[in-house]
Amino acid sequence: MAADKLFRKPSLNVVQGDGIGPMYGKVAAAATATYLYPGKLVSMLTNDGEIDIAGTADSSFNVGIIGYEDTPLAYKPATRDTIYAVADHVAIHNTPGMRFRGHLAGSQTIVTGDRLYHDPADSSGNFSKWALPAATTQNIVPLAMALESVTSVTSYASCVCWMQWL
């Protein structure tokens, strides 16, 4: 087991240090439910209170990550690795400084301290390594910082990284 680096990774939770507490949203009927794992980035939709996975061209509407431990029990999945369903009421976290277990887009090498953002080409709520975008793009800013080094591959289980919300 690797040594702890300034924080201890919880074995069951997704979020650590959200002192303000979550917002709550309802998974929209048209949501891309196959990606709605705790720790994925979500965006707001046009109907009040409805959310969906952060998909392509959603960079200006990203609101936070889907939580697990603060989701109401009636909607809480069995584990933090279980997908939420359409119409579930979920906790959404976005407090600056909070630590969370987020998901990376495949085939990246992330080191501690890397800035992470949501690539507008990604349709599954993943984070990618941030590099200064071209001047023609808008609303693309880093959302998190990596708290550990990870070499991600394409499988879901291997693309998890502890991050800190900026």
- Predicted pLDDT at 159: 84
Model confidence at 1, pLDDT cuts 50, 70, 90, reads: very low
Kindly tell me if the per-residue pLDDT of 91 is higher than 90.
yes
For 77-101, what is the mean pLDDT? 94
| pLDDT one-digit tens code per residue, 31-88 | 888 899 999 999 988 888 899 998 875 555 788 999 999 999 999 999 999 999 999 9
Domains of the chain as residue ranges with CATH: 15-165 (2.40.300)
In Å, how far are 4, 69, 127, 161 from 54, measured between CA atoms? 30, 21, 10, 18
Give percent above pLDDT 70 in the chain.
86
| pLDDT one-digit tens code per residue, 42-51 | 998 888 889 9
Mean pLDDT across the chain: 86
CA distance 166 to 162: 13
In Å, how far are 54, 87, 140 from 60, measured between CA atoms? 10, 23, 8
